[in-house]
Amino acid sequence: MSDPGAGSPESALERSEDSAPPRRPLAAFDLDGTLTRRDTLLPFLLRAVGRDRAYRALVVSSLPLARAAALGGPHRDVAKAAVLSRVLTGVPLAELAEAAESYADHVVAHGLRPDVRARVDWHRSEGHELVLVSASPELYVAPIGRRLGFDDVLATRLEVDADGRLTGRLVGANCRGPEKVARLRQWRGDALVIAYAYGDSAGDREMLALAETAVKIRGAR
C-alpha cells in the first residue's frame, strides 16, 4: 500500500531539509601577526610604489600615526586612511594588482609562521571551511588566501574610479575589530557559526569572542 503523504509538497520539503548536508566547520584566520610573522602593509607599499613615495606619506601622516600608536582604537583607522590616501591616490589598479601577485608569492614563501601555516593545512585536510579575515587591503590578501587554499577572503577594500585608478579611499570600513564580525555576518548571514578563530591583537578580539574555539597567537610582532 502506498503512503498517502508520500507525494505531498510538505513531505518532499521535509525530506529535502533532512537530506541537506551539514555545513563544514568554519575556521577564521587573521593575517598580520597571526599567519604572518609581522605586519604586511608597509612592506607591500614599499614594493608597490617605491621607498620615496611610501616614506614621504609616512612623514606627512606622522601626527595621525603618533595618535594611533598612543591611543589605538579608531585612531588606527584614521592613520591608516591617511597613509593610504597619500600613497595610493591616482595609482592604476592594474599596476598594483601585478605588484600584489608578486608580493603574495613573497609572503607565502618567506613571511608565514610555520606553526600557524600548519594549522591552516590541518583544517584543510579535515575538510573545514577556511576564511581569511584581515584589516590589510584585499588587493594582496586575496592572492595570499588563494595560494594557501582559503575558501574566501574578507579584507579592507580600496576604492577604484571609473578610469581604473585608486582614489585613496576605502570602500566601507577598515576590516578590524567589530568590522571583522560585521563582515563575517554579511558574508554568512544568520547562519554564521565560527568553530575556530585565530588572532593576535586587539583588532581580533570580537572575532575571537564569537568562536567556539579561540586561539590567541603570541610572540609574532
Report which secondary-structure segment, H or E, holds 196.
strand 196-199
Show me where the domains of the chain are located. 24-216
pLDDT digits (tens, 9 = 90+) for 91-100: 999 999 999 9
Half-sphere exposure of residue 104, counting CA atoms within 13 Å on the CB side? 20
Q: What whole-number distance in Å separates Cα of residue 146 and Cα of residue 131?
A: 10
- Mind giving me the DSSP string for 73-89? THHHHHHHHHHHHHHHT
Determine contact, residues 35/116, Cβ cutoff 8 Å: yes
pLDDT digits (tens, 9 = 90+) for 3-53: 544 455 455 445 444 555 678 999 999 999 999 999 999 999 999 888 887
User: In CATH, what is the architecture of 24-216?
Assistant: 3-Layer(aba) Sandwich (3.40)
Structure-model confidence comparison of residues 83 and 149, the more confident one: 149
Q: What is the pTM of this model?
A: 0.84
Distances (CA, A) of 6 to 16, 17, 18, 145: 13, 15, 15, 46
Q: What's the chain's average pLDDT?
A: 86
Distances (CA, A) of 78 to 62, 137, 211: 12, 15, 28
